[in-house]
A and B are shown apart, each in its own frame.
Chain A
């Protein structure tokens, strides 16, 4: 079926295929009505909030904007956010590849349950994601007394922030890889082994090239969420300025202190990150569809 769609798409791309066919063409007034409703909704609920971030950020001019970004607390928030993502993303990348490899290349009992468990963090409220680590590592938690005796701080410190971030970004890479690797099957890897490749060579030369776009896609989504997480991090951070404040938390503090322009200035950096993420995502999707089409051509 996918082949048929692609072939048709090749002949007549996208919507033109529907608009040229009398059976699937909507009357002009319907098209105008549906488009104005949907685009109106899009402008009001998506584009307007995005534009508002940048306009509010620049309300007091460029110098105030830059001053808000290079102020020491903002810089330390940016550093902590980058550090958190630099730890959380590689961890979840390694997990995602391992989980996808086990799930798609082997048969074992309880596989469906495992997939459901991997998706679990997506359906847990971020606030609860923070709470669970307080229950385990907090002063009153399971390991609290032991950690206290050994002078190890996890909650209200950087390790807690990293843990909460790892939790909320847990499924991203795995869930991009699993459907793709499922569809690709095991034949190519088996062939590589039969031809004498070592396990590591097989992974680097066969598996990795096949999954690289999905992998990149999962990583950028994981990264965007890791840098932007608010609820979970808010519970475990303790909000110590210059020490345990990430960028989203810094935005909140500035906002609550009525420093609106500064809050929006830091927020605009996060909005830029979101835009870059969407651009890379669009590029990766386009690249993957090119590859898909090219692969099916012969």
Chain B
């Protein structure tokens, strides 16, 4: 009863929802639909040729492979960083905590040229790595480094709040039952963090798959070797191959939508899990 009345009492429903739907359709939905409508004008054969040529397939392998690896590395170190920020006191902690979000705030092109300056042959670290036979800039390894940079905050920021809200009682109970510290962490704490870790992993992965700015400077962009899929789209556009670019884009969009659905499911799981833990 109260709900029905509330709907009538508060003003602005029609205006706010109308504006929201109109703006959403105009800016997001209709233009996105253009990708699929344009792709639909292709014959199946032409579509397949555009999205499954060896050069494009090599770019999928690099984009998705490097994104997976970067997200996995970020999951491990993101957990350690979140753990350090929540559980330990150390000097400079507030600065570290604030700077974790740097990849969200720093324009990708800036990150790209900076990482290149660090890892190029005569760069800050490159000059020491190159004699060891480790080439980072202008190789797939460079792509990985850039994707680690841009994905780093995701795991930290999804795990940190869950770790903060985690009741110390379950660890106390584990300890009082004779569990060693490591056992308590592995059997009690980590399973509670698992949904958040997985969500952070998926967010970092999804972001990495679409990333362009930070990668293209450090990647070297060699076809078949270090060329990412978003760059393939740009290259096709620059050659006025709008249809080809759109076909590849539709493949990436479908991948993004699937990831978005998975992430939504995972976030629901994280929320339910932490609600129960509390």
Contact = CB atoms under 8 A, between A and B. Distances in A.
A278 B108 contact: no
B12 A101 contact: yes
B237 interface: yes
Nearest to B185: A26
Interface string B244-257: 01100100110011
Contacts of B211: 125
Interface string A10-21: 000011111101
Interface residues of B, number: 99
Given A99-B20, A267-B113, A230 B27 contact: no
B190 interface: no
B260 A251 contact: no
B269 interface: no
Given A26-B87, A102-B13, A228-B107, A142 B260 contact: no
A-B residue pairs, 5 tightest by C-beta? A228-B107, A125-B210, A1-B278, A230-B213, A231-B212
A132 B35 contact: yes
B213 A52 contact: no
A38 B171 contact: no
Contacts of A279: 98
Interface in A32-78: 34-35, 37-39, 41-42, 45-50, 52-53, 56
A131 interface: yes
A98 B19 contact: yes
Contacts of A135: 31, 34-35, 38, 242, 246
B155 to A, nearest CB: 11
Nearest to A133: B31
A127 B253 CA distance: 11
A297 interface: no
B1 interface: no
Interface string A176-189: 00000000001001
A9 to B, nearest CB: 9
Given A38-B80, A193-B9, A23 B249 contact: no
Interface string B1-39: 001001101111101110111011001111110110010
Contacts of B96: 39, 42
A106 B20 CA distance: 14
Given A102-B16, A125-B256, A270-B110, A15 B212 contact: no
B4 to A, nearest CB: 9
A86 to B, nearest CB: 17
11 contacts: A18-B168, A26-B88, A41-B81, A49-B111, A102-B17, A119-B260, A123-B206, A127-B231, A221-B105, A248-B213, A274-B102
Contacts of A23: 168, 171-172, 174-176, 184
Interface stretch (B52-60, B114-122, B193-201): B114-122
Contacts of B12: 101-102, 105, 199, 203
Interface string A273-286: 11101110110000
Nearest to A131: B249
Interface centre among B3, B107, B113, B233 (most CB of A within 10 A): B107
Contacts of A170: 27-28
Interface residues of A, number: 108
A140 B86 CA distance: 54
A117 B11 contact: no
A27 interface: yes
B62 interface: no
A115 to B, nearest CB: 9
Given A23-B172, A230-B212, A252-B109, A50 B260 contact: no
B74 to A, nearest CB: 9
A127 B28 contact: no
Interface centre among B96, B110, B115 (most CB of A within 10 A): B110
A83 interface: no
Contacts of A230: 107-109, 212-213
A98 B14 CA distance: 10
A95 B217 contact: no
Nearest to B231: A127
A17 B165 CA distance: 12
A120 B16 contact: no
A114 interface: yes
Given A41-B77, A235-B237, A224 B89 contact: no
B157 to A, nearest CB: 12
B106 interface: yes
Interface in B78-102: 80-81, 83-84, 86-90, 93-94, 96-102
A117 B209 contact: no
Contact of A251 (B21, B109, B149): B109
